[in-house]
Structures are given as structure tokens and as C-alpha cells.
């Protein structure tokens, strides 16, 4: 049976479960905010900067050259401490860039970082599945390592599609489940055994760094995410793997409106 707009496909129980996951995720990221950046660099051996720079470049490549059109509007959802938001601004200083996240402590750090770097970006508290923006109000939407934390990733994808204008572009950066083979085995060991210990030691929040591998191992493969993006109404969906498949960048476009002849 078709579900009415705004109704949860699994009814009230599903809605309550989503609310519960949302609250847990928000509390967890609020708790780990102070050590988030340090651990990101440490646990990824510093490669995370390159992954975000590549995501920003892929997302912005769809825009006309600076000065060739109206001022581009860019939204970074689940922006956390703002690293992807700031990479976007660095690469397109002419754009109006906004970061959105539902964990206020992460946003406080993002605002301080932007101030230190003299970057003119704005940060708003918002849930990625109910963004406080009108339809078709952004040229580019990005989300870096946020989607797998959503209680309902499909609801997030539909919302990104809603706020993007026709011809706009979405970039999703995520950790796919590790591949099979020797590298996957090694990575799983690192991810399951070492990372929670190291993360717990530095942040004092072992639980949060045990959640990280579990959320990745249970997330969609790039092929599944491609199908979900298409189901949400995106076209030209493609993905490329980063650093032997540890991270993956998905790009997807909103179809342009066809003019009547
Ligand atoms: C792993 S961090 C990624 C932060 C940042 N994008 C980066 O690249 O470092 C995930 C972020 O997603 C945010 N988040 C998770 N679910 C969200 C939701 N439904 N709406 C808004 N933010 C959400 C968390 O608060 C957290 O800041």
C-alpha cells in the first residue's frame, strides 16, 4: 500500500524507533565533539582531508565558473565540526555556503574553526531529514560521513532532492562496508579491534567508537546506495572508491526541467 506523505512506512513503531536512534546519535556526537577532529585525523592517518577535498571538488564541478551565473548556494548536511563545509568554501570562495547539523556542540566547534580561518560560512541547527529550507533552494548539497547515522537514510535522500534545484548536484561521502579479500580482513581487524580501543582511550567514549565500525559494517554497499539515490529521483548517479575502498564518493544529479517545445 502506498504511504501518505510524511507517514512512516512502518507506522508509529517505526517512527518511535527512528526518533530513538536520532536522539542517541545526537547525544553521542555531542559527547565526542571535543575530540572528534583529533581522532578523525588519527584514525584515518590524515587521509580524511583528501577525501573531503575530493568530495568538495566533485560536488562543485557541476557549477558554472565563478562570475558566470548567480551566486551559487551550497549546503553541507551533517556538517559536524565543519571540515567539508570549509573545504567547499575554500574551493569556491564566491559561493554562499551553509553547514547544518543536529548536534549543537559540533556546530560550536565548526563556528569557532570558521572564525579562526576567516571563512564566511553560516551554520544552522537542523535535522537532515527535515531541513528548514524551501524547495529548490540550493545548487549543491553534500553530506560527509553522515548518512549512515540517519535513522532513515531514504528520508534524508528525498529531503536533499527536495532542497536541490533542477540541475543541482548531491555528493555523498561514506564509509562502505569493507571489501572482501586480504585488505578487507586487515581493515575489519583494525576497525573492530583497534579503532574502538584507540577512540575510547582518547575520547573517553569507548561506546561511540564501537558504534563507528558497527554502523559502517551494517551500511549500504556503494551499489545499494546507488539504487537508493536513483529511487529518490537522482540521475547520473556514480561512485568512486577512495584509498582502496575505505571511503566512497557518490555523485548524483537532479534532472533538469524539460522545456515544453
Ligand atoms: C561522523 S560525523 C561527520 C561530520 C562531518 N561531516 C565530517 O565530515 O567530519 C556525523 C555527523 O552527522 C550528524 N548527524 C547525524 N544524523 C543527523 C541528522 N539526522 N541530522 C543532522 N545531523 C545529523 C552528527 O551530529 C555528526 O555531527
Where b means 16+ CB within 10 Å and e means fewer, 79-95 reads bbbbbbbbbbbebbeeb
Distance between Cα 214 and ligand 1 center (Å):
16
CA of 29, closest atom in ligand 1: 25
Q: In sequence order, what E strands does the chain have?
A: 73-77, 96-101, 122-125, 138-144, 164-174, 235-242, 247-253
Assessment of whether the complete model's pTM goes beyond 0.85: yes
CB-based pocket (< 6 A), ligand 1: 22, 25-26, 29, 52, 78-80, 83-84, 101-103, 106, 127-129, 144-146, 149-150
pLDDT for residue 3: 42
pLDDT for residue 4: 45
Residue spans of the domains in the chain: they are: 13-253
Residue with cell 533552494: 137
Mean pLDDT of 74-79: 98
pLDDT in tens, 186-217: 888 887 888 888 888 877 877 777 888 888 88
Distance between Cα 244 and ligand 1 center (Å):
24
Which numeric CATH code is attached to 13-253?
3.40.50.150
pLDDT for residue 169: 98
Pocket test for ligand 1, best of 29, 175, 195 (most atoms within 8 A of CB): 29
DSSP state of 192: I
Q: Give the C-alpha separation, 160 to 129, whole Å.
A: 8
Amino acid at each position: 500500500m502506498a504511504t501518505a506523505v510524511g507517514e512512516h512506512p512502518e507506522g508509529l513503531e517505526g517512527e518511535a524507533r527512528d526518533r530513538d536512534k536520532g536522539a542517541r546519535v545526537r547525544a553521542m556526537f555531542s559527547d565526542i565533539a571535543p575530540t572528534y577532529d583529533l581522532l578523525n585525523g588519527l584514525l584515518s592517518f590524515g587521509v580524511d582531508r583528501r577525501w573531503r577535498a575530493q568530495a568538495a571538488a566533485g560536488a562543485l564541478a557541476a557549477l558554472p565558473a565563478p562570475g558566470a551565473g548567480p551566486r551559487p548556494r551550497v549546503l553541507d548536511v551533517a556538517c559536524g565540526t565543519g571540515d567539508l563545509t570549509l573545504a567547499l568554501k575554500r574551493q569556491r570562495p564566491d559561493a554562499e555556503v551553509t553547514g547544518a547539523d543536529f548536534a549543537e556542540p559540533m556546530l560550536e566547534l565548526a563556528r569557532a574553526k570558521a572564525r579562526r580561518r576567516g571563512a564566511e560560512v553560516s551554520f544552522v541547527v537542523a535535522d537532515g531529514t527535515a531541513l528548514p529550507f524551501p524547495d529548490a533552494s540550493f545548487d549543491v548539497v553534500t553530506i560527509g560521513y553522515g548518512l549512515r547515522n540517519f535513522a532513515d537514510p531514504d528520508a534524508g535522500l528525498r529531503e536533499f532532492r527536495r532542497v536541490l534545484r533542477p540541475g543541482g548536484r548531491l555528493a555523498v561521502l561514506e564509509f562502505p562496508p569493507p571489501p572482501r579479500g586480504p585488505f578487507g580482513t586487515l581493515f575489519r581487524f583494525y576497525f573492530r579491534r583497534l579503532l574502538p580501543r584507540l577512540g575510547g582511550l582518547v575520547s573517553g567514549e569507548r561506546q561511540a567508537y564501537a558504534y563507528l565500525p558497527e554502523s559502517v559494517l551494517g551500511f549500504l554497499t556503494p551499489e545499494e546506495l546507488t539504487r537508493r539515490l536513483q529511487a529518490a529521483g537522482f540521475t547520473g548517479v556514480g561512485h568512486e572508491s577512495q584509498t582502496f575502498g575505505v571511503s566512497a564518493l557518490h555523485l548524483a544529479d537532479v534532472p533538469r526541467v524539460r522545456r515544453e517545445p
